[in-house]
Amino acid sequence: MRGRVYKSTGSWYRVKSEGVFYDCRIKGRFRVEGIRSTNPIAVGDYVRFNIEEKGDETVGVIYEIEERENYIIRKSVNLSKQTHIIASNIDTAFLIVTLKNPVTFTSFIDRFLVTTEAYHIPVVLLFNKIDLYDEEELIELKYLISLYRNIGYDCVEISASKQINIEKVKALMLGKTTVFSGHSGTGKTTLVNVIEPGLDLKTSEISEQHLQGQHTTTFAEMFDLSFDAQIIDTPGIRGFGVVEMEREEIGDYFPEFFKLKHECKFNNCLHLEEPQCAVKEALENEEIAWSRYNSYLQLLEGEENQYRRDIYE
């Protein structure tokens, strides 16, 4: 039988095949495309499985994973040498961004965008909680939206709690499988519940101590929506370690860098100290944002997301 994985807990998988859900296990150990992953099978995967009868129980046994069209992958939080596949076979990825409670740093946004660029996944940035920002924060919001729109990313200002621009988000989801990601506390689950109230996903209060969200989504899970769309709800992401990239190719996943690459004196320019570097010239002329360049340097040097460890550990 052929089906699609709707939920993965690491030990069992909920698979939908021809309108019916089956609880499945893995047959033996999988090693997919040489990836050392904490979850060899991810939500969104298409799999083949057999049905086995064990007493009164019907259990599916997965024996094959079909080749993935794309996936979002990051380094495992606690196992630095392993990776975690967040979701696969995605049409659009939505990243929920907030300026406070909690802060979504541009370095985190950029790491997410680099990963989605590498796997050709279109991204929409959803700037949530716009009803809570003061005048200074709204100025910062407009700057960030301008920055990312100029690069070519879709940006939508929303408020999940006040249901502002929710119809715009739903229109972008129509006929697609979408994944929603973001830090815990950005309002991801609240947004999903507003988009599809019947799901009634569990949300929790913001921690008063650190003004951050509590982890309510433990495992990624896909849902069929009432308006011809599918959504993958994911656990809140603490850090986003980029994997499977060579230093020489990282700059290609910054669209504004890639556009200028052919103007650099050297074909293999890393945009560091090389002479006649078009990216550095654009940076000095304020045609490229310093925040983006700093994110690029962090990735180039292999730095991890240390900036959130004081909050989460």
Q: Which domains does the chain have, with CATH numbers?
A: 2-65 (2.40.50.140), 71-233 (3.40.50.300), 247-309 (1.10.40.50)
| Mean local confidence (pLDDT), 138-162 | 97
Residue 25 is encoded by which pair of tokens? 């296990």
Of 22-26, 78-82, 178-182, the least confident: 78-82
- What are 225-283's pLDDT values in tens digits? 999 999 998 776 655 556 667 889 999 999 999 999 999 999 999 999 999 999 999 99
pTM assigned to the model: 0.83
Contacts 24+ apart (CB under 8 A), 284-292: 288/256, 288/257, 289/147, 291/106, 291/107, 291/110, 291/147, 292/106, 292/110, 292/147, 292/151, 292/254, 292/256
Is it the case that residue 60 has pLDDT exceeding 70?
yes
Q: Are 173 and 226 in contact (CB under 8 A)?
A: no
83 HSE (CA, 13 A, CB side): 22
Whether the per-residue pLDDT at 55 is higher than 70: the answer is: yes
Best mean pLDDT range from 1-15, 56-70, 146-160 = 146-160
Percent of all residues in the chain with a pLDDT value above 90, rounded to a whole number:
62
Q: In this structure, are residues 269 and 261 in contact, taking their beta carbons and an 8 Å threshold?
A: yes
CB-CB contact of 242 with 86 (8 Å): no
> Residue 10 and residue 27: Cα distance in Å, rounded?
13
Instruction: List, for residues 175-222, the tens digit of each pLDDT value.
Output: 999 998 888 889 888 999 999 998 877 765 443 333 444 434 457 889
Q: Are 52 and 45 in contact (CB under 8 A)?
A: no
Is 164 in a helix, a strand, or coil?
A: strand
Beta-carbon-side half-sphere exposure of residue 301 (alpha carbons within 13 Å): 10
Q: What is the DSSP string of 13-44?
A: EEEEETTEEEEEEESS----TT--BS-SS-TT
CA angle 174, 178, 184 (to 5 degrees): 130
* Cis peptide leading into residue 255 (ω within 30°): no
Mean pLDDT along residues 58-83: 79
